[in-house]
A and B are shown apart, each in its own frame.
Chain A
């Protein structure tokens, strides 16, 4: 394949016709393959089902065979005999190929190319991306001294072939800003700029003194700058952003109820891994199969599981009527797509319904990939309710800080348990228990309950009416012995009053203890009223399902007979009753049973200090009975010291539980539920065809025969030396991060429909050295950023600018530096950093910075959960944008052009609209940053000119030119005049944002400088990495 420069060369530098040398032979890969793929493969490509006329053009052997018509589409060396040429040149629109209705007509030049290619022998070569990359020798160039990194020779060779020279190196200030923004997403501080500029000047002076011989001394100032940037934790935060888009990372599920998730633990893992420069082959293996890798210890195993959350960042639909199996299949499709797009640069999703039309991926092979991801023990729906809606499998993942807190809490609980044990072993406790037991159980034995009776249900017109029914209205009492205590009994009848009554008998007690205490416990559906001997003792107008112990009342009963009447008023649906009478927390029956376990001849006036022999009798109880009695005693009448120890233990236990409840739960991968995978007809989960097992596509190198048939096998195949795609795709992602566009512009598609690489040999050479060098992403980024190519000025002025714009508007040849607007996430980071507001804290749960009021109001129409934006306060307002809570259904309002985080995306789109301008002019984020920047300038500098210069440098690194300073100074004067006359306006502007302001500053001046700083933040230069 020829590089782009050759195309441009031929376009730009064609010699006069008379002198023209014979045209070089047609290049199949560059000139023919894209035509066949785009215009022909839809009907004559790999997709067998869609193939027309028995003609297949993606493989030479097929194309040379006679088609169904008996004619040969391609006769090598004889275009005139080839049906393909006859059909593309056919005068009749009905016969001509491609059919005009397809909108894919061939131009005359394209038709001529195809004919000439056949005349030249119709040589095929396989698609560039399916064959392994090979390192190319660095090409010869005229201006070798320009080159700093091996890659520069490839770029320069292209430029020289096109008759272009590289742009001069950008000035040091532009360079330090460009490198810092590219690698950390933050602007350099003025100090960092000064240091770098001085460093460069010092080196230049030293070089001048040493003469030309010492000129190449390394490392130079720039290399030292890069070293510092790569060591900054901000590098991982910056490098993570494209991964988050690829992983469709979000903090919620993205469908109805849009439950929150805690996948941010994966985001933190990712940032750390990038900062640690985990080799890319290992990084990919961890994301795909960390759960299947051996682990050094439990901590490492858990971290490896967390890495696989990459495959669990799909949408989740918890809608009431959603069909779980359908949703589960959607999730697996998403996994295949995320895997293939991110790591292979393959558009596999096309093969979900049919063989891929352009690339040699069959539908069967698609489902063989599907099988790898089809073993997760998941239902397809969230398994937890509430604000966090997670789907199995998930794991609880304490952070390091959490682990410290957990250990503390567990230690405290252990200590409290020990103290309690000590109290429980104290002498005298058993005697106290026996004393209490004897008294209490005597009470219980004095109490007896008759069977329930029920009156005929009394219908009413409403719940209110049923609830208000007087008990005197109850008639037709009948015994209901089946209404046993401690169970929910269902009642039928809506808007109905149900009356129950029951006799309570209290025997006279010994001595003066004549009254017995009892607590009546109820559950009811819905409302409840209780009368004892005709007096109302309990009311609970609730609407609910019946459950144990929803309401209770304690009463003291004199010896004799008593009558209990209960009203259950049911509103709608079934009604219900639950009842228990308890003495000292024990159900009466239990209490009586326990009483039976005590010696029956206990004296009725037990001495305070029970003799040891009775304790011995107590020892004869069964362990269960003893434990129950002990629990009841400790609940009802614990001695003071024991009560304190109990309370302390309960507090510690509650604290530990509360801490555990805050620990994030992360959805991860597991192969615990293997399923039989089928080809699905047109991707329909209800239409399975033949069964398939895991495997990789045949057009790519095979797995070794002993390969594992699971995700780990897939990951090992992906990163193997034979795989032609992975290394190229990783190089391309890095190139895209550094230069704005990839060497393969279609980062998501390395297939036949994707763009050919602009510098194929360069792509391959970098891919080979990435692998040979141990897959270091930092080294890959370093070589790109250190290159002379990267260091070029991005100016497009003068005749050269006009020529470059005409010749290469997209800068594919890289004759100039890449100039591009920063993503919105970084625009916010830049404003926070320049203003000094930025809080540099790594990782943790997502935060909720400023969003417009009602940002989630589209969701607030449900009553199922609260959807008010829980805006943070304090430091959490000023964290980097990657920590901003990302609700999948409603993206943050100020993150324009951001990926929607619904499907895997590996290439950003950039647009420019008035809405973006409004955001940066009016969002409190930027207004507050402007105020803070103005304040910092006023603190640091005395004169207006110096203050303007300070603010300008904080944002764009360079100082303003005199005329720029004049414009801004005039702007200040204009604003100052206004604010001096209108103090309220100044106060209003300065009140934007939560951060404290220095009220000692003159508010008119502060407000006016705020306006100037806001202008600086909105400079095109400030929005741009140039």
Chain B
């Protein structure tokens, strides 16, 4: 793996030749491990799929806080007749509640606050609060029978995104890029963006471990693309340092490092030289990524007026498409705003307005560009919400629903998931799965399956054990697949 001085300078002086550089990196072009990890045969290369993958890319549209499946995805017309009657104790007792309502004296039923309607040729029933998502219903695979043991936000999100309620494991995206490597030379393989409801009523925080590498090499961690300041930390050259000067300084650096490589012979030096070149390239490719001037008016209109606002969920959805088409493997949008304990009546509609159109636009946009076939879109949050009311029903802004882990809904699109399909069903109270129950680990296994991995074999030896995303659980849910 020696890099000759001429090879390197010949490439970099012209600012070209990234493909050649990538060849020097032994693996996926964006970062590499130093040294060989114990027990990791071939740790220097991406693991590669176990079987032909159905999907190449993933975008997670994370809806933090716990969207109310009762109001949005899981119609229970029968609850109207039971309005404000007690949820049967036999139903309630079987599930854990958060301590916010586990001591509540009364559990009156509150049916969905808005009507449902059928959408698309498939006739999928969704809330009228989600007209745009309804518009792409025939692309969606809606799961109404998910469950998780978590009843609080941070453990719930951590379980969904890392496979364990406790922080410390690699995230879903880190596993995916560990397995698949990168399609891009000059963008990170795993990119994260955040947004929140505009009134900041939700209070859900985003922690680094939601996109962390855990015990995998840190190059697999998600890189945040930020709405303000440097879009990627430390991307901008220092003030006063022109691109030409930076280029010249990097050429000096390369010359000196090459000299040192000749004298010391350590291949790590060659790796380092390549990383500095890629850094320079990234400084050019990221601004290009962010430049929306060549997006057509009709595309921008699809995502809605909020797309003009940096850091909005709509803007992040559009950025997600641009990242995916540039070869980023895993895009994770973290949006918060669904934790409506007491403001369901006032905030649910606001949340839907902010997220409905952009979410649907991303699906449609990927579809019209032919990317949806091999891109998985996942929409959902850490759990659902109770069909009983929390708080003071007499106050419009004083009531809502508590967390419910025992049953909730999510939807997927593309990447080989069945469009226009509803999987599973909940009981009469949307409180427990009644058929087709799927645990979070099952859906994780299914996602990895679509990426070409047996979730039991995508492992990393850590502390004497082969860890995997799904811990010791998970079955591929073949019923979701086309």
A positions within 8 Å CB-CB of B: 103, 254-258, 315, 317, 319-324, 330, 341, 347, 349-350, 357-359, 494, 572-573, 741, 745-746, 748-749, 751-755, 794-798, 801, 805, 809-810, 819-821, 852-854, 857-859, 861-864, 889-891, 893-894, 896-897, 900, 902-903, 905, 909-919, 921-924, 927, 961, 963-964, 967-968, 970-971, 974-975, 978-979, 984-992, 1007, 1011, 1014-1015, 1018-1021, 1023-1024, 1026
Contact = CB atoms under 8 A, between A and B. Distances in A.
A922 B154 contact: no
Interface string B326-369: 00000000101000000000000000000000000000000000
Interface in B181-225: 186, 188, 194, 196, 200, 202-209, 212, 214-215, 217-219, 223-224
A267 B472 CA distance: 37
Nearest to A992: B238
A129 to B, nearest CB: 12
B32 interface: yes
Given A900-B212, A968-B256, 15 more contacts: A256-B205, A755-B38, A796-B264, A797-B265, A859-B207, A862-B200, A862-B204, A889-B205, A893-B234, A915-B234, A921-B276, A924-B238, A988-B240, A991-B239, A1020-B257
B209 A902 contact: yes
B45 interface: no
B321 to A, nearest CB: 23
Q: Label chain A's interface by main secondary structure.
A: loop
B275 A912 contact: yes
B263 A321 contact: no
Given A900-B167, A922-B236, A909 B223 contact: no
Contacts, number: 311
Contact of B234 (A741, A809, A859, A923): A923
A919 B233 contact: yes
Contacts of B79: none
A683 to B, nearest CB: 11
Given A797-B264, A810-B36, A912 B252 contact: no
B229 A852 contact: yes
A911 B252 contact: no
A553 B209 CA distance: 54
14 contacts: A317-B155, A322-B152, A330-B166, A749-B464, A858-B194, A859-B206, A910-B33, A917-B278, A985-B240, A985-B242, A989-B238, A992-B239, A1020-B260, A1026-B266
A290 B262 CA distance: 53
Given A315-B167, A922-B238, A909 B98 contact: no
A1026 B266 CA distance: 10
B240 A821 contact: no
Contacts of B242: 978, 985
Shortest beta-carbon contacts, A-B, top 9: A321-B98, A913-B31, A988-B240, A989-B240, A796-B265, A858-B206, A347-B464, A917-B279, A988-B239
A975 B151 CA distance: 59
Given A256-B153, A912-B32, A970-B252, A890 B464 contact: no
B35 interface: yes
B131 interface: no
Interface string B240-271: 11101110110011011101111111111101
Nearest to A987: B240
Contacts of A809: 36
A992 B273 CA distance: 26
* Residue picked from A323, A798, A979, most chain B C-beta under 10 Å: A323
B38 A745 contact: yes
* Residue picked from A852, A961, A964, A970, most chain B C-beta under 10 Å: A852
A852 B202 contact: no
A922 B167 contact: no
A755 to B, nearest CB: 5
A115 to B, nearest CB: 24
Contacts of A255: 154
Contacts of B98: 320-323
Contacts of A961: 259
A862 B202 CA distance: 7
B265 A801 contact: yes
Contacts of A1024: 268
Given A913-B275, A978-B245, A797 B263 contact: yes
Interface in B135-179: 151-155, 166-168
Nearest to B471: A353
A821 B267 CA distance: 13
* Residue picked from B204, B264, B278, B398, most chain A C-beta under 10 Å: B264
A902 B209 CA distance: 9
* Residue picked from B99, B205, B266, B394, most chain A C-beta under 10 Å: B205
A1011 B98 CA distance: 56
A469 B248 CA distance: 75
Contacts of A921: 234, 237, 246, 276, 279
A1021 B283 CA distance: 24
Contact of B259 (A755, A900, A963, A990): A963
A854 B194 CA distance: 12
A358 B464 CA distance: 8
Contacts of A911: 31-34, 217-219
B463 interface: yes
Contacts of A1023: 272
B461 A753 contact: yes
Interface string B268-290: 11011101101101110000000
Contacts of B233: 852, 893-894, 915, 918-919
A797 B115 CA distance: 75
B37 interface: yes
B230 interface: yes
A865 to B, nearest CB: 10
Contacts of B298: none
Contact of B38 (A746, A852, A1015): A746
B336 A861 contact: yes
Contacts of A894: 233-234
B100 interface: yes
B5 interface: no
Contacts of A755: 38-39
A852 B234 contact: yes
B218 A897 contact: yes
A1015 B253 contact: yes
B401 interface: no
A993 to B, nearest CB: 10
A319 B153 contact: yes
A854 B229 contact: yes
A315 B464 CA distance: 23
A257 B152 CA distance: 13
A745 B35 CA distance: 11
A447 to B, nearest CB: 41
A829 B153 CA distance: 37
Contacts of B249: 971, 975, 1011, 1014-1015
Interface string B74-88: 000000000000000
Interface string B20-46: 000000000011111111110000000
Contacts of B39: 746, 753, 755
Contact of B34 (A821, A978, A987): A821
A317 B464 contact: no
A795 B34 CA distance: 17
Contact of A863 (B194, B203, B241, B266): B203
B230 A861 contact: no
Contact of A889 (B208, B237, B395): B208
A853 B457 contact: no
B90 interface: no
B203 A918 contact: no
Contacts of B38: 745-746, 754-755
Nearest to B50: A103
B277 to A, nearest CB: 8
B92 interface: no
A819 B268 contact: yes
B465 interface: yes
Nearest to B202: A861
